Amino acid sequence: MKKIFTKNSIILSILLFFCIAGKVNAQENGTETAGKNLVKWNVGAIFLNNYSFQYERAIAPKISVALGLRFSPKSSLPFKSSIEKSIDNDDTWNNIKDFKTGNFALTPEVRFYLGKGGFRGFYIAPFVRYATYSAEGPFTFDVNVAGTTRTETMPLSGDITALTGGVLFGAQWKLSKLVYLDWWILGPNYGTSSGSISGKKSLNSDEQAALRDALTDLDDLPLVKTKYTVDNEGAKVDFDGPWAGLRGGLSIGFRF
């Protein structure tokens, strides 16, 4: 919960900074900047348990810059059925299905509007995204000693960081003098990721061998490569590899 409040504070601080900066600039130039700014809420993201906001500012008649912020409190895996289908190994799926995940992302972009003016019509927006994904959950493994099998659980938690770049295709409409509708039609992105999850637990030699063997199931996770270490104090799994994603959504914006 503390992390969520911290991320909310970051969001509010950045938005406040942009608003103050725009007002100071207007006062220095003696002109009104009303109409050059949009603050938006991606209402579609709420169905994925995400909270997504964006600030956009016009810098030329048909060009603007924007900063997106997204966060999600930890909850069960999204798109469970799709993730299960992408994993061929049943043991791998059984070991991650009860994990909880959360995320936080910053997405700066530059928009080029193709219509008659800014903030309206079809646009193309190159962007980069910095995102962190947290995960925690129980990892179960079977220990066989002298013909007797028992099930043990190792609590694992950690974060994966991804840096990607892509292009967003979308369209924006003016609904009224101050209200806009922004449709993120498609935004494919691709890049790299790295991170780790770990857990602490006293393990004897039999438990270490069993856990080491069970962790090999994570090799079947799509895209990422895994490297794991196990000792008498617990385990650590390192992730490294490519990362891909898609942006999409429907936002309501207020112009000022």
Unique residue bearing structure tokens 């060009």: 63
Domain that residue 159 falls in: 2-255
Phi, psi of 94 (to 5 degrees): -65, -30
pTM as predicted: 0.78
Each residue's pLDDT, cut to its tens digit, for the chain (256 residues) gives 444 444 444 444 444 444 444 444 444 444 444 589 999 999 989 888 899 999 999 999 999 999 999 999 887 766 666 666 666 666 666 767 778 899 999 999 999 999 888 899 999 999 999 999 999 999 989 999 888 999 999 999 999 999 999 999 999 999 999 999 999 999 999 999 999 999 999 999 999 999 999 898 787 777 778 899 999 999 999 999 999 999 999 999 999 9
Element (H, E) at 66: strand 63-76
**How many domains does the chain contain in total?**
1
Angle at 97 between CA 81 and CA 154, to 5 degrees: 170
Q: What is the CATH number of the domain that holds 89?
A: 2.40.160
Unique residue bearing structure tokens 């193309």: 124
